[in-house]
């Protein structure tokens, strides 16, 4: 039963909540027991801005169970530093570029069965262009 | 109706998905060549990972962010929709959690066809106006359903908006008054478990949309002692553009007053999100001191009407994406099969 796991992860899934290390200041995502940089266990919760850039990406040809195609997998370098693996939304494969500015959105990331529980979580889309001077 | 203490909108946010389908693409499958053009040229379609919950979360985040409001001070969230992803399980709790306002919050989904969003607005005004909560979030959002080949398929679009209501001294627009007008009318319904709604032939239009929108609008004008000419902008529910131009003309509003809020020609009818999205588009361009007239319509049937007065805070509360920005990031779906899949009308078993 995967339901308890998805439920437990919802801070990370909904808010992109990571951690800041009180000892060395490093920011990491997702939450871990100790700091990846200095191993300190003094960590505080840190919701991340959700802004970042595409570090790398690939288009998965085969489907994953419970996921709707297309599968545009990317590594996103967040502005706070951590790297996060996530799917891209609202973009066609030919529009993606390394270094493209993206922002976190909350989307349906899987369904546990055709009429089953819907898991919501983070994906990234090209940063929305806002018309200046309004 | 007026609340015991003055209430206003402290923040607002809109959402329209990126995808559009030309109504030509739908008619090429269903209509004989040479049939009359559809009421709108194109409509919005949700992306494969979107639904009412994800769309409501984005609009709500923008609304709360613009208000600069402490999420912990928001005491209520209502999501009005007729296309919620779960038949049983509230959308509002997922939105509340994602926006960071759970758990000390009243939350539920509202159901009243296309009036569900304005029903949420009435409740928000009442909760804040009674002093029970400092902030209340009212959302109207839909990914409208329609039977393949049905007349509604040419206009059933998706989108909506979120409004954070708070005391009027924090607001970008104050609520002058609101009214409601409802009767038992069989114009449109969907039974439990049915995938698509049914519409009741001769009950559409005259005895439903027009009768209720006119009654609520006239009641509101009387309540605030105003004439249509006193308002800079007016927005109505938008099943098809010609309904809006006709209701506006019957009430005495001119084409200029309805221009900013009339979005149906570019995205179809967003059902419970339709009039709220129009209100958001008006707030995107309104000037301090202007008055805004709002009237929703929902089948079954009823209308809520609100009068707003824009304050000088509006200028500082438009950061981030406006309705035009969402409409501008347009990607056309040129294939009817792909469109059916995005609407979840067909799926892999
Ligand atoms: Zn450290």
Report yes or no: A72 and A100 within 8 Å, Cβ to Cβ: no
CA dihedral B317, B321, B323, B329 (to 10 degrees): 170
- Nearest residue in B to A63, CA atom: B348
Q: Is the pLDDT of residue A1 over 60?
A: no
A69 contact residues in B (CB cutoff 8 A): 48
**Mean pLDDT on B242-270:** 98
CB contact under 8 A, B320 and A90: no
Nearest to B321 among A14, A90, A130 (CB): A130
Task: Tell me whether residue B347 is in a domain.
Answer: no
Interface size, chain A vs chain B, as Cβ–Cβ contacts under 8 Å: 66
Q: How many separate domains does chain B show?
A: 2
* pLDDT digit string, tens, across residues B19-35: 999 999 999 989 877 78
In the set B42, B50, B58, B82, the catalytic residue is B82
- How far apart are the CA of A44 and the centre of ligand 1, in A? 11
Nearest to A90 among B18, B284, B325 (CB): B18
- How far apart are the CA of A74 and the centre of ligand 1, in A? 26
A92 contact residues in B (CB cutoff 8 A): 331
Task: Tell me whether residue B211 is in a domain.
Answer: yes
| pLDDT (0 to 100) of residue B347 | 76
- Where in the sequence is the domain holding B325, given as residue range(s)? 7-172+316-342
| pLDDT (0 to 100) of residue A66 | 59
Instruction: Examine the domain organization and report whether B14 and B159 are in the same domain.
Output: yes
| pLDDT (0 to 100) of residue A54 | 98
Separation in Å, CA of B46 to nearest CA in chain A:
10
Task: Tell me whether residue B1 is in a domain.
Answer: no
| pLDDT (0 to 100) of residue A65 | 60
| pLDDT (0 to 100) of residue A60 | 81
B284 contact residues in A (CB cutoff 8 A): 134
pTM (whole model) above 0.95: yes
Radius of gyration over alpha carbons of chain A, in Å? Answer: 16
Integer Cα distance of B276 and B286 in angstroms: 15
Tokens representing residue B44 in the block? 């919005």
Instruction: Examine the domain organization and report whether B126 and B193 are in the same domain.
Output: no
Of A6-15, A118-127, B79-88, B307-316, least confident by mean pLDDT is A6-15
Report yes or no: B267 and B327 within 8 Å, Cβ to Cβ: yes
Instruction: Examine the domain organization and report whether B295 and B278 are in the same domain.
Output: yes
Q: Which of B19, B21, B43, B38 is nearest to B267 (CA)?
A: B43
Nearest to A107 among B54, B97, B328 (CB): B54
| pLDDT (0 to 100) of residue B250 | 98
Instruction: Examine the domain organization and report whether B13 and B154 are in the same domain.
Output: yes
A128 contact residues in B (CB cutoff 8 A): 321, 325-326, 329
Separation in Å, CA of B248 to nearest CA in chain A:
26
CB contact under 8 A, B328 and A15: no
Instruction: Examine the domain organization and report whether B63 and B126 are in the same domain.
Output: yes
Give the CATH number of the domain where residue B210 resides: 3.40.47.10
CB contact under 8 A, A106 and B285: no
**Mean pLDDT on B50-75:** 96
How confident is residue A68, by pLDDT bands cut at 50, 70 and 90?
A: low
Using an 8 Å CB-CB cutoff, list residues of chain A that contact chain B: 10, 14-15, 68-70, 87, 89-90, 92, 105-109, 114, 118, 120, 123, 128-131, 134
Long-range CB contacts for residues A41-48, cutoff 8 Å, separation at least 24: A43/A19, A44/A19, A44/A20, A45/A11, A45/A17, A45/A18, A45/A19, A46/A17, A46/A18, A46/A19, A46/A20, A46/A80, A47/A15, A47/A16, A47/A17, A47/A18, A48/A16, A48/A17, A48/A18, A48/A78, A48/A80, A48/A82, A48/A104
The reply to whether B82 belongs to the active site is: yes
* pLDDT digit string, tens, across residues A2-21: 888 888 888 889 999 999 99
Q: Is the pLDDT of residue A64 over 80?
A: no
CA distances, B22 to each of B37, B40, B181, B330, B331 (Å)? 11, 9, 35, 12, 11
Instruction: Examine the domain organization and report whether B255 and B331 are in the same domain.
Output: no
CB contact under 8 A, B349 and A114: yes
**Mean pLDDT on A57-64:** 78
Q: What's the DSSP call for residue B315? A: G
Instruction: Examine the domain organization and report whether B18 and B166 are in the same domain.
Output: yes
Block residue for tokens 């191993």: A39
Instruction: Examine the domain organization and report whether B77 and B210 are in the same domain.
Output: no
Integer Cα distance of B72 and B66 in angstroms: 15
- How far apart are the CA of A19 and the centre of ligand 1, in A? 10
Query: Can the peptide bond before residue B74 be classed as cis, meaning omega within 30 degrees of 0?
Result: no
Integer Cα distance of B154 and B327 in angstroms: 18
Instruction: Examine the domain organization and report whether B74 and B89 are in the same domain.
Output: yes
How confident is residue A133, by pLDDT bands cut at 50, 70 and 90?
A: low
CB contact under 8 A, A106 and B58: yes
* pLDDT digit string, tens, across residues B145-166: 899 999 899 999 999 999 999 9
How confident is residue B240, by pLDDT bands cut at 50, 70 and 90?
A: very high
* pLDDT digit string, tens, across residues A115-129: 899 999 999 999 999
- How far apart are the CA of B19 and the centre of ligand 1, in A? 43
| pLDDT (0 to 100) of residue B67 | 97
Instruction: Examine the domain organization and report whether B299 and B321 are in the same domain.
Output: no
| pLDDT (0 to 100) of residue A3 | 85
Q: Which of B180, B168, B142, B143 is nearest to B295 (CA)?
A: B180
Tokens representing residue A32 in the block? 């871990």
- Which of B15, B48, B49 has the most A C-beta neighbours within 10 Å, making it the best mutation to test the interface with A? B49
- Which of A9, A86, A115, A120 has the most B C-beta neighbours within 10 Å, making it the best mutation to test the interface with B? A120
The full DSSP string for A61-130 is -S--TT-PSPEEEEEEEETTS-EEEEEB-S--GGG--TT-EEEEEEEEEEESSTTSPEEEEEEEEEPPP-
Task: Tell me whether residue B255 is in a domain.
Answer: yes
Instruction: Examine the domain organization and report whether B260 and B188 are in the same domain.
Output: yes
**Mean pLDDT on B200-204:** 81
Separation in Å, CA of A55 to nearest CA in chain B:
22
Q: Is the pLDDT of residue A69 over 70?
A: no
Nearest to A129 among B48, B58, B325 (CB): B325
Report yes or no: A69 and A50 within 8 Å, Cβ to Cβ: no
Block residue for tokens 């049983």: B88
Q: Is the pLDDT of residue B313 over 70?
A: yes
Integer Cα distance of B90 and B69 in angstroms: 24
Instruction: Examine the domain organization and report whether B265 and B164 are in the same domain.
Output: no
- Torsion B257-B185-B46-B11 (CA) sign: positive
Q: Which residues contact B65 (CB under 8 A, 6 or more apart)?
A: B11, B13, B319, B320
Q: What is the ipTM of this complex?
A: 0.94
| Beta-carbon count within 10 A of B200 CB | 14
| pLDDT (0 to 100) of residue B138 | 98
Of B145-149, B174-178, B206-210, B230-234, least confident by mean pLDDT is B145-149
Report yes or no: B134 and B74 within 8 Å, Cβ to Cβ: yes
In the set B114, B199, B212, B295, the catalytic residue is B114
Q: Is the pLDDT of residue A96 over 90?
A: yes
B100 contact residues in A (CB cutoff 8 A): 15
């Amino acid at each position: 039963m995967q339901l308890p796991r998805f439920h437990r992860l919802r801070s990370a899934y909904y808010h992109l909540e990571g951690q800041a290390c009180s000892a060395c200041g490093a920011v990491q995502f997702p939450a871990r027991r100790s700091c990846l940089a200095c191993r300190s266990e003094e960590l505080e919760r840190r919701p991340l801005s959700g802004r970042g850039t595409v570090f790398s990406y690939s288009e998965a040809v085969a489907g994953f169970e419970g996921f709707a195609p297309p599968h545009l997998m990317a590594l996103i370098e967040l502005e706070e530093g951590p790297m996060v693996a996530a799917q891209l939304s609202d973009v066609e494969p030919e529009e993606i570029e390394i270094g493209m500015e993206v922002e976190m959105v909350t989307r349906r990331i899987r369904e546990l069965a055709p009429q089953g529980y819907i898991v919501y979580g983070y994906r990234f889309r090209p940063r929305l262009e806002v018309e200046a001077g309004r | 109706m007026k609340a015991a203490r003055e209430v206003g909108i402290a923040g607002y946010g809109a959402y329209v998905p990126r995808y559009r389908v030309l109504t030509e693409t739908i008619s090429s499958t269903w209509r004989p060549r040479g049939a009359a053009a559809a009421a709108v040229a194109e409509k919005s379609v949700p992306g494969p990972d979107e639904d009412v919950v994800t769309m409501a979360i984005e609009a709500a985040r923008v609304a709360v962010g613009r208000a600069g409001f402490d999420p912990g001070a928001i005491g209520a969230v209502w999501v009005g929709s007729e296309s919620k992803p779960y038949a049983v399980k509230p959308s509002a709790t997922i939105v509340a959690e994602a926006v960071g306002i759970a758990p000390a919050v009243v939350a539920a989904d509202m159901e009243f066809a296309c009036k569900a969003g304005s029903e949420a607005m009435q409740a928000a005004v009442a909760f804040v106006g009674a002093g029970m909560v400092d902030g209340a979030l009212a959302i109207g959002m839909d990914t409208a359903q329609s039977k393949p080949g049905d007349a509604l398929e040419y206009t059933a679009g998706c989108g909506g908006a979120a409004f954070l209501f708070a005391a009027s001294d924090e607001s970008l627009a104050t609520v002058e008054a609101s009214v409601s007008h409802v009767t038992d009318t069989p114009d449109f319904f969907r039974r439990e478990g049915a995938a698509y709604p049914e519409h009741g032939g001769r009950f559409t239009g005259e005895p439903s949309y027009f009768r209720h929108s006119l009654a609520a609008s006239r009641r509101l004008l009387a309540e605030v002692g105003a004439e249509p000419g006193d308002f800079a902008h007016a927005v109505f529910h938008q099943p098809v553009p010609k309904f809006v131009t006709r209701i506006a003309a019957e009430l005495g509003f001119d084409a200029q007053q309805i221009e900013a809020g009339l979005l149906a020609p570019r995205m179809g009818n967003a059902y419970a999100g339709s009039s709220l999205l129009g209100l958001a588009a008006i707030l995107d361009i309104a000037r301090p001191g202007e008055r805004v007239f709002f009237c929703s319509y929902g089948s079954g049937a009823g209308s809520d009407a609100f009068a707003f007065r824009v304050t000088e805070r509006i200028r500082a509360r438009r950061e981030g994406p406006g309705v035009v920005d969402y409409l501008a990031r347009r990607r056309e779906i040129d294939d009817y099969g792909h469109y059916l899949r995005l609407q979840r009308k067909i799926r892999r078993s």
